[in-house]
Amino acid sequence: MTSLSSKDIEDIFEKLRGGLVPERGLDSYAVGIDRELAEVRRQLDLVAKGLGNVKFLRGGYGCGKTFMARLAAIEAQKHGFATSFVVVSDNDLKFHRFDDVYRKVVSELGTASCARGALGDILDRWIGKIEDGLISTGADPDAADFDPKVAAKLGEELTSMLGNQAPAEFIRAIQKIFELKQAGELTEAAALLSWLSGSTNVAASAKRVADIRGDIGSRDAMAYLRGIVGMVHAAGYKGLLIVIDEAETILRMRRDSRHKSLNGIRQICDAAGTYERLLWLFTGTPEFFDSRHGVAGLTALHDRIEFSKDGEFASLRQPQLVLRPFDKDRLRAVARALRDLFPAENPELHASKISDTFIDLLVDKVTEGFRGHVGLVPRHFLREFVNRMDLVQQEPDYQPMAMKDRAYEPRKLTTEEESALQNDGAVISDVDGDESGPIPVEEVW
């Protein structure tokens, strides 16, 4: 378990109060997912050795897909990886537009020392390594020719690392950013870094400095991503983990966008092995994988990532890693871990009022509100539980066990929760049109 600062602990409970998954400290209350987490670590180990791969987290509503994906990102950073956590949106991210995907991936790039927007930090770290290497061989960092030596070495590493796999504009942009920084022209360097991050709002005059025309387009974006992965490794990281969360959002897109997005995922799967030290991790619901509107409608993708079981057993090493629904025992264990983590002013009073008996009672009450479907309650339960712990801190006369003598009023269920209750845990998305035929295979880049 990672040691947490008071700031980390406060962040955990603030996120849980809002029904969100925290971005740190998840291993402090992760319960019942040891086997699944071991498979994620195995994938990271493979990528650290130079392989490239795609993995899919499969789970119904309330199974903890986002939690597991966030935990995977924490694990990756802890073991020396850079990460990017992208949430699929039908409003601002069209997944078949690889320039959109690239821009989101780079903007969400993070490391253990830089939580978000870490591209500049990664580049600085790479250049720092080059400088240290030259100094170790006797170069004088104060000499007039030191910067030219660094620039020459940077050019050598770019050529050897990327060869013909990244666009020439990528290499020119990296070299020019270094030159501009050394000359103290930080605004111009920042503009080029923004362009390299996929921005379409960089002035033409800033791009001309590096002999660059236009913006990074959809057909070129994946080649630029190859350059980003190479840069991450050159900076000393073991590799890059890209999380694509809530892939089932694709099902809510218009049919043409949905088809193209699924084709895009198919192309990522086909090319994954050629992106050394890159692991893609997608999360999705069974409906996304099994419905004819989703993966099952695209035979070329379905055949590559098909999920199989032998009775009640499913291999963890197949492309889809299934996440098991919560049960009451696991929910109680999570609550006890959070109780012990909670920053109480009076720990003894806190422990006496938030007792195991109270936790059992709250689990039963909240579960009743969801008609006995334990797998749907975790997010709501955790909000209720943190609220009760807050009341213990704020109100001296508050007795949480008193709830056993009064009716528990669950909040109004969301559309997704109602759908899941009516369909045995599955959320049925609205999709347009009658699609009895297969999704046409289309090359997007």
Residues 59-79: what's their mean pLDDT? Answer: 93
- Model pLDDT, residue 411: 60
Residues 356-378: what's their mean pLDDT? Answer: 77
Query: pLDDT for 226-282, tens place per residue?
Result: 999 999 999 999 999 999 999 999 998 888 888 999 999 999 999 999 999 999 999
Q: Give percent of the chain above pLDDT 90.
A: 70
Residues 127-145: what's their mean pLDDT? Answer: 94
Can you tell me the distance from the alpha carbon of 98 to that of 93, in angstroms, rounded to the nearest whole number? 9
- Model pLDDT, residue 79: 95
Q: Give per-residue burial for 75-103: e unless 16+ CB within 10 Å, then b.
A: bbbebebbbbbbbbebeebbbbbbbbbbb
- Model pLDDT, residue 419: 61
What own/partner pairs with CB < 8 Å and gap ≥ 24 does 328-331 have?
328/363, 328/364, 328/367, 328/374, 330/31, 330/32, 331/363, 331/374, 331/377, 331/378, 331/381
DSSP state of 254: -
Can you tell me the distance from the alpha carbon of 102 to that of 206, in angstroms, rounded to the nearest whole number? 21
Rg (CA), the chain: 25
pLDDT above 70: residue 394? yes
- Model pLDDT, residue 168: 87
Residues 6 or more apart in contact with residue 204 via CB below 8 angstroms? none
- Model pLDDT, residue 142: 93
Query: pLDDT for 419-433, tens place per residue?
Result: 655 555 555 555 555
Query: pLDDT for 289-303, tens place per residue?
Result: 999 999 999 999 999
DSSP state of 53: E
Query: pLDDT for 2-19, tens place per residue?
Result: 578 999 999 999 999 998
pLDDT above 70: residue 323? yes
Using an 8 Å Cβ cutoff, are 389 and 350 in contact?
A: yes
Domains of the chain: residue spans and CATH:
34-110+237-322 (3.40.50.300), 119-223 (no CATH), 328-421 (no CATH)
- Model pLDDT, residue 429: 59
Query: pLDDT for 172-208, tens place per residue?
Result: 999 999 999 999 999 999 999 999 999 999 999 999 9
pLDDT above 80: residue 126? yes
Q: Give percent of the chain above pLDDT 70.
A: 88
Residues 6 or more apart in contact with residue 372 via CB below 8 angstroms? none
- Model pLDDT, residue 186: 95
- Model pLDDT, residue 253: 86
Using an 8 Å Cβ cutoff, are 66 and 41 in contact?
A: no
End-to-end CA distance of the chain: 42
Helices (H), 282-414: 286-290, 299-305, 328-341, 347-353, 356-369, 378-394
- Model pLDDT, residue 373: 60
Q: How far apart, in Å, are the Cα atoms of 254 and each of 112, 258, 293, 302, 433? A: 38, 6, 11, 20, 9
Please report which confidence band the pLDDT of residue 435 belongs to, taking 50, 70 and 90 as the band edges: low
| 320 Cα distance to chain centroid | 16
- Model pLDDT, residue 425: 52
